[in-house]
Amino acid sequence: AQSVTQPDIHITVSEGASLELRCNYSYGATPYLFWYVQSPGQGLQLLLKYFSGDTLVQGIKGFEAEFKRSQSSFNLRKPSVHWSDAAEYFCALGYQKVTFGIGTKLQVIP
Amino acid sequence: DTAVSQTPKYLVTQMGNDKSIKCEQNLGHDTMYWYKQDSKKFLKIMFSYNNKELIINETVPNRFSPKSPDKAHLNLHINSLELGDSAVYFCASSPPGAGGTEAFFGQGTRLTVV
């Protein structure tokens, strides 16, 4: 069975500070991994995805994520957070049947 | 040009009613999904259709019946609505591909059962 764990339900960072959102997964084969962002009242937007190849993937809005097979992790990072990044972030795993983590709510303070 | 559109965006209805949510995608994708997001923001897949055929049917009450008249549409009909059905329902679609592909989501339909 596949599963995704996002250990941090809520994270607060100051604007301009760096950000790392954690994601761990459980899957028996090569995982297909995604990060989505959901702004209040909106649908989900894909930030980035990993299928194979370079383990450091670049996404939109200045986000990147690193796949570490040995740690079963796919953490999302951004070097400098903007106030507009405040949203809910979902890590997801799978192919056709995608399993989502419970999400991490990011709050950005001025 | 909305890629995945759902209607209505908000739906308030009484217990016991029957309601439908419509979803259309203009991306030419073969696969469409319905997801349910509960009050704690947890997203769970309900159904998946590929070229109008049901390929994933999670443990969902049979009061929920998806219908795909063509591969660009996947509607969700819910009979005898219950309070616990209150949630945000997301439609999504994804393109064909040998590898995994991301899903494109609609804006969601917030269903409130009173």
In tens, the pLDDT along A95-109 reads 767 889 999 999 999
B76 pLDDT more than 70: yes
pLDDT digits over A39-97, tens only?
988 889 999 999 888 899 999 999 999 999 999 999 999 999 999 999 999 999 987 67
Q: Indicate the residue of B45, B92, B100 with minimum beta-carbon distance to A32.
A: B100
Confirm or reject contact between B55 and chain A (CB < 8 A). Answer: yes
Q: Decide if B45 and A97 are in contact by the 8 Å CB cutoff.
A: yes
Six token digits for residue A59? 């996404």
HSE at residue B8, side-chain half, CA atoms within 13 A, is: 9
The residue that leads in pLDDT, A52 or A16, is A16
CATH of the domain at B29: 2.60.40.10
Distance CA B92, CA B94 (A): 7
Q: What is the pLDDT of residues B81-109, one digit of tens each?
A: 999 999 999 999 988 764 456 888 999 99
Domain span at residue B75?
4-113
Q: Which residue of A has its CA nearest to B37?
A: A102
Chain A: nearest CA to B108, how far in angstroms?
A: 6
What residue spans define the domains of chain A?
3-109
Number of structural domains found in chain B: 1
Overall average pLDDT of the B70-90 stretch: 95
CA distances from residue A54 to A48, A103, B71 in whole angstroms, order as listed:
13, 25, 34
Q: Which of B43, B100, B107 lies closest to A42 in CB terms? A: B107
* Domain A3-109 of CATH type 3.30.360.10: no
pLDDT class of B1 with cuts at 50, 70, 90: low
- Residue range A29-55, pLDDT digits in tens: 778 899 999 998 888 999 999 988 889
A43 touches chain B (CB under 8 A): yes
Q: Residue A97: its pLDDT value, please?
A: 73
Q: B56 to chain A: nearest residue by CA?
A: A97
Q: DSSP letter string over A12-54?
A: EEETTS-EEE--EEE-SSSPPEEEEEE-TT--EEEEEEESSS-
